[in-house]
């Protein structure tokens, strides 16, 4: 009877105990690291682009609200006051409102928001107010037209582009343009 001790391992299992070629090692760790670095660089570049683009998107500088709309520099009179109900939810400070005109949208006021923007406010009788606000600039145009074919009001600061007269807009006073509904 033969036991394992009697057998030569080379006879039992063959005599090819030489070193085998190592299989090709995949470099997953290196590839993952390279992909991660590229992703971080792309994300960082995108964030830097967004940060610089948002601060330099306009060549027109912000100005004081009174420079954009001289009516805001005049003292507030009794006609300029808007009820608190008319200002609720608009973000416009009550001490800043100035009456402009009565239009088809209601009484129209100019004011400033709590964060310094110039705002156009229309307060209709028996309805909710509508408002539009923008940063005060020399080319600011504020337009209130709740319905596409309804009445509208626009306030245009110094260098702003006035609405087209061909579309029915007409100027009622410096900076204020209105259009009747169709």
The rounded radius of gyration (Å) of the Cα atoms in the chain is 36
Q: What is the pLDDT of residue 41?
A: 93
Q: Which residue did the predictor score with more confidence, 38 or 160?
A: 38
Query: Could you tell me if residue 3 is inside a domain?
Result: no
Query: Could you tell me if residue 148 is inside a domain?
Result: yes
Residues 37 and 70 placed together within one structural domain of the fold: no
Mean predicted lDDT score pLDDT of the chain: 79
| pLDDT bucket at 122, cuts 50 / 70 / 90 | confident
Residue 68 host element (H or E): helix 65-68
Residues 71 and 50 placed together within one structural domain of the fold: no
Residues 43 and 87 placed together within one structural domain of the fold: no
Q: What does the pLDDT look like over 136-165, one tens digit per residue?
A: 887 888 888 877 777 888 888 877 888 888
Q: What is the pLDDT of residue 43?
A: 93
Residues 27 and 80 placed together within one structural domain of the fold: no
CA 93 from centroid of its chain's CA atoms: 22
Query: Could you tell me if residue 14 is inside a domain?
Result: no
Query: Could you tell me if residue 10 is inside a domain?
Result: no
Residues 84 and 159 placed together within one structural domain of the fold: yes
Q: What does the pLDDT look like over 83-107, one tens digit per residue?
A: 887 788 888 888 888 898 888 888 8
Q: What does the pLDDT look like over 50-93, one tens digit per residue?
A: 887 765 545 556 677 777 777 788 888 888 888 887 788 888 88
Sheet holding 130-134, edge to edge: 98-103, 106-112, 118-123, 130-134
Q: What is the pLDDT of residue 20?
A: 61
- Print the domain residue range for 106: 65-179
Angstrom distance (rounded) from CA 132 to CA 119:
5
Residues 124 and 149 placed together within one structural domain of the fold: yes
Is the pLDDT reported for residue 40 higher than 60?
yes
Residues 108 and 131 placed together within one structural domain of the fold: yes
- Are the beta carbons of 101 and 170 closer than 8 angstroms? no
Query: Could you tell me if residue 103 is inside a domain?
Result: yes
Residues 70 and 105 placed together within one structural domain of the fold: yes
- Are the beta carbons of 118 and 137 closer than 8 angstroms? no
Question: Which of 55, 80, 102 is the last residue before a domain boundary?
Answer: 55
Q: What is the 3-state secondary structure (H, E, C) of 23-46?
A: CCCCCHHHHHHHHHHHHHHHHHHH
Q: What's the whole-number mean pLDDT along residues 35-43?
A: 93
List, in order, residues 6 or more apart from 23 with CB less than 8 Å away: none
CA 124 from centroid of its chain's CA atoms: 28
| pLDDT bucket at 26, cuts 50 / 70 / 90 | low
- Are the beta carbons of 154 and 176 closer than 8 angstroms? yes
List, in order, residues 6 or more apart from 85 with CB less than 8 Å away: none
Residues 129 and 49 placed together within one structural domain of the fold: no
Residues 26 and 87 placed together within one structural domain of the fold: no
Look at the chain and report how many structural domains it folds into.
2
Residues 51 and 137 placed together within one structural domain of the fold: no
Residue 48 host element (H or E): helix 28-55
Query: Could you tell me if residue 2 is inside a domain?
Result: no
């Amino acid at each position: 009877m033969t036991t394992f001790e009697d057998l030569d391992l080379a006879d039992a299992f063959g005599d090819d105990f030489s070193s085998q070629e190592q299989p090709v090692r995949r470099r997953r760790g290196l590839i993952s690291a390279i992909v991660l670095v590229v992703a971080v660089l792309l994300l960082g570049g995108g964030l830097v682009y967004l940060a610089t683009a948002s601060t330099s998107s306009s060549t027109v500088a912000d100005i004081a609200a009174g420079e954009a709309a001289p009516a805001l520099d005049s003292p507030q009179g009794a006609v300029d006051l808007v009820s608190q109900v008319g200002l609720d939810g608009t973000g416009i400070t009550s001490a800043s409102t100035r009456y402009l005109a009565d239009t088809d949208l209601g009484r129209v006021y100019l004011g400033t928001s709590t964060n310094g923007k110039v705002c156009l406010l229309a307060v209709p009788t028996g309805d909710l107010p509508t408002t539009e606000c923008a940063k005060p600039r020399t080319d600011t145009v504020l337009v209130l037209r709740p319905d596409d074919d309804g009445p509208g009001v626009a306030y245009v600061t110094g260098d702003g582009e006035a609405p087209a007269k061909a579309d029915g807009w007409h100027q009622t006073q410096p900076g204020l343009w209105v259009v009747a509904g169709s």
